Amino acid sequence: GAVVSQHPSRVICKSGTSVKIECRSLDFQATTMFWYRQFPKKSLMLMATSNEGSKATYEQGVEKDKFLINHASLTLSTLTVTSAHPEDSSFYICSARAPLDSGSGANVLTFGAGSRLTVL
Amino acid sequence: GNSVTQMEGPVTLSEEAFLTINCTYTATGYPSLFWYVQYPGEGLQLLLKATKADDKGSNKGFEATYRKETTSFHLEKGSVQVSDSAVYFCALTGGSQGNLIFGKGTKLSVKP
């Protein structure tokens, strides 16, 4: 089945530095990828929709200058947390829309394993 | 807009007990419904899905039936195992960008 690879799985950085997280679709092309943020004991919050070849669409309340998203190819989207601060510490998860399931017709999202960011 | 309401956890069960995690939704149109599972320290994995009313999704002993009349998609398993300990998320399609909308998740702990 469709696989999404996310890297790094864990990253620790100092306050004020920038961190880049990569999300790759393996064996399929993804024109659209989604970036979620998961807070402890809470659900996933959609941060932005990454569209290949165009600007990302950010959800209300998400700072686009802080969370830079680049979708340079049909298999790669990156999220850069700029000038990270401790409050940015979280679990970030990307997902990609896999090819349409011809059996069920459902648009299934495939998720990466997540990246845990800790800002000291 | 579309939304999902999921029973709050945590849920603690003994091994081989029966599991039900309630999920209800509000939606316009006919969304597809999903259950995702997140094991400790990992990302989300699709557990099962249903795309139309009365469909039953099933996988690894888990089942959920798309009930349009009650707008529900409850997750059930007849006999849970310790390895089923995880957080379970109910979700549906309906985001403006084709994304999924998730419930808050239910943490399940199964004791030997």
Give the C-alpha separation, A56 to B96, whole Å: 13
Q: What is the pLDDT of residue A107?
A: 63
Which pLDDT tens digit goes with each residue over A23-36?
A: 999 988 888 899 99
Assign B96 a pLDDT band (cuts: 50, 70, 90).
Answer: low
Q: Is A108 on the interface with B (CB under 8 A)?
A: yes
Look at residue A100 in the predicted model and tell me its pLDDT.
Answer: 62
Q: What does the pLDDT read at residue A28? A: 87
d(CA B95, CA A101): 19
Q: Is B100 on the interface with A (CB under 8 A)?
A: yes
pLDDT digits 0-9 by tens, B18-47 = 999 999 999 988 899 999 999 987 888 999
How many C-beta neighbours within 10 Å does residue B5 have? 15
Chain A residue with minimum CA distance to B38: A113
pLDDT digits (tens, 9 = 90+) for B39-94: 987 888 999 999 999 999 999 999 999 999 999 999 999 999 999 999 999 999 87
Minimum CA–CA partner of B40 in chain A: A113
Inform me whether the pLDDT recorded for A59 exceeds 80.
yes
CB-CB contact of B93 with B28 (8 Å): no
Q: List Cβ neighbours of B64 (8 Å cut-off, separation of 6 or more).
A: B23, B33, B35, B48, B50, B56, B57, B58, B73, B74, B75, B76
Report the DSSP beta bridge partners of residue B71: none
CB B91 within 8 A of CB B36: yes
pLDDT band at B15 (very low <50, low <70, confident <90, very high): very high
Which residues are CB-neighbours of A78 under 8 A, at least 6 positions away? Answer: A20, A21, A22, A23, A69, A70, A71, A72
Half-sphere CA count of A12, side-chain side, radius 13 A? 1
Give Dmax (Cα) for chain A: 48
Tell me the C-alpha distance between B20 and B37, whole Å: 14
Mean pLDDT in residue range A98-114? 70
Q: If you search the block for the tokens 């009930």, which residue do you land on?
A: B67
Contact B105 A114 (CB under 8 A): no
d(Cα A68, Cα A78) in Å, to the nearest integer?
8
